[in-house]
Amino acid sequence: DGAELDRRISQAKAALGRRLLILGHHYQRDEIIKYADLRGDSFKLAQQAAARPEADYIVFCGVHFMAESADILSAPHQQVILPNPTAGCSMADMASIAEVEECWETLNEVLGEEAGLVPVTYINSAASLKAFCGEHGGIVCTSSNAFKVMEWAFSRGRRLLFFPDEHLGRNTGHAYGIPEEEMIVWNPKNPQEALDDEARLQRARLILWKGYCSTHMRFSVQQIAKARAEHPDITVIVHPECRREVVEAADLYGSTEYIIQQIEQAPAGSKWAVGTEINLVHRLAQEHPDKLIFCLDPIVCPCSTMYRIHPAYLAWVLEALVEGQVINQVKVAPEVAHWARVALDRMLALK
């Protein structure tokens, strides 16, 4: 039961002391996040993985691509563990290295010498895609630095190939001042669609991979209208993985860390409708009883893969570590890690 798991986790954590660092993404459930030594958004957690060489074990309570990034950025003696190895990311799975390579070759062929393509991958992607970016003069972004990354990438080339999240790419492109007509969607399941629209492809400065987060796709303009009708003084804040029209209808948008900061800094009595994962929204509501905080989507479901980190898995991997056994380690192959690190370091170096 819960109390027993709590006892086991606390005991193992105490036994491991400073050799252990538990990182927790903001979407983790309360029963997990309470054990995190550090909480953060994707960017902050990547930074922390690089900044804690004293820990032998980094137990990453998040999803697979985050644990991979932690492995790439941490020191060679550190071992990264994902408590449940099936905690993946359906958006990350929407772009494979074979599809990206095919897209890259086709675009360079069609656009010719004027292509000037720079690959940009959202951190929600497999390490092999980050490595592709490292090797081809590209970079990684997160939802908190996508604008800065776009500035960097446009200083390197004329066109950006942005994957796997169409929506983060489009929202950032609009913030950067790129008109919709200069964007085109690349559907890896049907590349011909983009190729048939040749005039648009030639003009495109932003090529957006057709990938999405199913949790953030649940939010709609209708939900925002309803929240505003019921609470005229509400502030609507959403994640940039939401559709363009949702981000446009909201008052504010940004990464999970940004959403938390905005709500924490707001005065008592303020009202917030939030368009992001439910575990985070519930926690914010509990921690700020002086504010009205609710999720835009009434039939909310959690990010199903984040939810796979159950306390029983955490207890299991920690107790194994106490016994000197490393289970569910995430280890990126050295040649992939090398180039992925190049792309991640370019991002981390941005001021």
- The helix/strand/coil state of 116 is coil
Q: Which is nearer to ligand 13P, 42 or 235 (CB)?
A: 42
Residues 6 or more apart whose CB falls under 8 angstroms from that of 89 comprise 63, 64, 65, 124, 305
Burial of 136 (0-12, 13-18, 19+ CB in 10 A): middle
Selection from 240, 288, 244, 306 nearest residue 87 by Cα:
306
Q: Which is nearer to ligand 13P, 9 or 303 (CB)?
A: 303
Work out how close the CB of 125 gets to ligand 13P at its nearest, in angstroms, rounded to a whole number.
11
Q: Which is nearer to ligand 13P, 25 or 159 (CB)?
A: 25
Compute the residue count for the chain: 351
Selection from 240, 204, 208 nearest residue 95 by Cα:
208
Work out how close the CB of 81 gets to ligand 13P at its nearest, in angstroms, rounded to a whole number.
19
Work out how close the CB of 120 gets to ligand 13P at its nearest, in angstroms, rounded to a whole number.
15
Place of tokens 């070759």: 105
Q: Which is nearer to ligand 13P, 223 or 256 (CB)?
A: 256
Q: Which is nearer to ligand 13P, 202 or 261 (CB)?
A: 261
Q: Which is nearer to ligand 13P, 70 or 315 (CB)?
A: 70
The footprint of ligand 13P (CB under 6 A) covers: 26, 41-43, 124, 142-144, 213, 241, 255-256
Work out how close the CB of 275 gets to ligand 13P at its nearest, in angstroms, rounded to a whole number.
12
Q: Which is nearer to ligand 13P, 128 or 305 (CB)?
A: 305
Work out how close the CB of 6 gets to ligand 13P at its nearest, in angstroms, rounded to a whole number.
26
Residues 6 or more apart whose CB falls under 8 angstroms from that of 196 comprise none
Work out how close the CB of 124 gets to ligand 13P at its nearest, in angstroms, rounded to a whole number.
5
Selection from 250, 261, 78, 240 nearest residue 174 by Cα:
240
The verdict on whether omega for the bond into residue 164 sits within 30 degrees of 0, i.e. cis, is: yes
Number of C-beta neighbours around residue 180 at 10 A: 11
Q: Are 343 and 42 in contact (CB under 8 A)?
A: no
Work out how close the CB of 260 gets to ligand 13P at its nearest, in angstroms, rounded to a whole number.
10
Selection from 244, 8, 227, 240 nearest residue 122 by Cα:
240
